[in-house]
Amino acid sequence: MIKNILVGYDHSRPAQVALAQAIDLAEATSGRVRLVVVRTEEGPAPQPELAADPGIADMVNVGLDDEEMETESAGAPPFVEQARTKLAAAGTTGSIQVANSGQPAACLREEADLANLLVVGRGRAHSGGQVGRTTRNLLKGHLPCPLLICTNQYLPITSMLLIYWPGPPGGRAVSLAAELAATLNIDLDTVVTAPGHRAPRQERARVASALLGYHTEGEVVATTEASEQAVLTAGLQYNPSLLVIPEPSLLRWPWQLAPLYSSALELPDTLLLIVP
């Protein structure tokens, strides 16, 4: 289950949304939130990004007394104190690291090796893109842990949709989605797509049987659509708060995101959870 949640944070609105979503999940799972703030020579990065090989400059543990807090956060950007206040007000256990400059996506991967969940904002998209540069770079390689991409505004998780296809990431997506749905006490609808593999109806029966152990409510249906089309079709039909998808096997597209990610990000008012 999700116990160690990593969040890239700065003063931007996408980062604040990511923090709010992370606090919600930490409260539900009795987890811990760890924020990392990038600091460059010019000041903090404008995106919720992390640095490669950061060389941590400051560590702020939530719950330190005022004297310790003043010492630990010396020289940190002013919004670090605001983030600490938000964590403390929510009663969430956590820490804040202020890191030196580097390559944000590379460090995010490195830090996420020890996390159960990575939470990022969509960021400010460039050239008409659907996500910011760091999130886009993350999606162009294999993920070290599940990745939650937030919407542009805070969104309570009240319903979930899982798009499943056979393979190890699909199995892990079933487990994570079912555990999370049971923890949040919400329905989990599942769409099974298996073109070129087992017959979708046979695969549907296997998934439905696996979900019985989690005592979740919701439909399990089969489709012959390809995964990227099923994401759009089912996403519009069910309109979930949270869409869960397995990581696709082919990721490297030189000039654009993999078709599955492009389809999933067409649903702008839906949180996206990708399970590697």
How far from the centroid of its chain's Cα atoms is residue 62's Cα? 22
Q: Are 157 and 187 within 8 A, CB to CB?
A: no
Closest CA to 97 of 33, 26, 144: 33
Sequence ranges of the domains in the chain: 4-149, 160-275
How far from the centroid of its chain's Cα atoms is residue 25's Cα? 11
Dihedrals φ, ψ of 233, to 5°?
-60, -50
CA 231 – CA 187 distance, rounded (Å): 18
Polymer length of the chain: 276
Using the predicted structure, report yes or no on whether residue 172 has a pLDDT greater than 70. Answer: yes
Question: If you average pLDDT over residues 193-219, what whole number do you get?
Answer: 86
CATH code of the domain made up of 4-149: 3.40.50.620
CA 3 – CA 161 distance, rounded (Å): 22
Q: Are 149 and 272 within 8 A, CB to CB?
A: yes
Using the predicted structure, report yes or no on whether residue 49 has a pLDDT greater than 70. Answer: no
Question: If you average pLDDT over residues 101-120, what whole number do you get?
Answer: 85
Which DSSP string corresponds to 106-159? HHHHHHHTT-SEEEE-----STT-SS-HHHHHHHTS--SS-EEE--SS------
| pLDDT the model gives residue 186 | 97
| pLDDT the model gives residue 267 | 93
Q: Are 249 and 167 within 8 A, CB to CB?
A: yes
Instruction: Confirm whether 4-149 and 160-275 share one CATH topology.
Output: yes
CA 33 – CA 112 distance, rounded (Å): 12
For residue range 18-45, what is the model confidence (pLDDT) as tens digits?
A: 999 999 999 999 999 998 876 544 444 4
Using the predicted structure, report yes or no on whether residue 215 has a pLDDT greater than 60. Answer: yes
Using the predicted structure, report yes or no on whether residue 83 has a pLDDT greater than 70. Answer: yes
How do 32-40 and 43-44 pair as beta strands? antiparallel
Matching residue, tokens 């989990």: 188
Instruction: Give the range among 66-80, 137-151, 199-213, 247-261 with minimum mean pLDDT.
Output: 66-80
160-275 maps to CATH 3.40.50.620: yes
Instruction: Give the range among 44-48, 85-89, 234-238 with minimum mean pLDDT.
Output: 44-48
CA 209 – CA 159 distance, rounded (Å): 21
For residue range 137-163, what is the model confidence (pLDDT) as tens digits?
A: 889 889 999 999 999 999 999 999 999
What totals of helices (H) and strands (E) does the chain contain, helices first? 9, 12
| pLDDT the model gives residue 126 | 54
